[in-house]
């Protein structure tokens, strides 16, 4: 799987609310997500659990647009702009992803959410 394929797989797993596909895109060790409120979630299992309830809800839409990618040896970076709507409220945020090579696959090591509006 290429870096772009791995990024697309991760975004599709979110859009389709598929927790198992989502979990498969995460690095095994030292993974961190930073939410739009600045909260940090550490560890693969904690990140999966934090997303499980969100994925169970059908009250939201997630429309990402890939703005920029860069691949360097064992690291891939991606910046996406997401149009998000939930229960009639919409907002825009940027997601910065850091991927690493793990057993010949690209896995997410870091995700940072930055609110735009």
DSSP, res 16: T
> pLDDT tens digits, residue range 79-108?
999 999 999 899 999 999 999 999 999 999
What pLDDT is stored for residue 77 in this prediction?
Answer: 98
Query: In this model, does residue 117 exceed pLDDT 90?
Result: no
CA dihedral of 78, 53, 29, 8, whole degrees rounded to 10: -30
pTM: 0.94
Measured over the CA atoms of residue 61, residue 117, residue 30 and residue 67, the dihedral's sign is: positive
DSSP, res 31: -
Three-state SS at 78: strand
Q: What is the CATH number of domain 3-115?
A: 3.10.450.50
């Amino acid at each position: 799987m290429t870096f772009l394929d791995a990024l697309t797989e991760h975004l599709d797993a979110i859009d389709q609310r598929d927790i198992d596909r989502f979990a498969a895109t995460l690095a095994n060790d030292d993974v961190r997500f930073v939410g739009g409120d600045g909260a940090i979630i550490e560890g693969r299992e904690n990140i999966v659990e934090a997303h499980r309830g969100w994925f169970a809800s059908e009250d939201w839409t997630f429309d990402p647009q890939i703005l920029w990618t860069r691949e360097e040896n064992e690291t891939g970076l991606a910046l996406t702009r997401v149009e998000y709507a939930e229960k009639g409220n919409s907002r825009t945020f940027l997601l910065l992803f850091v991927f690493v090579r793990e057993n010949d696959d690209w896995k997410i090591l870091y995700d940072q959410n930055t609110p735009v509006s």
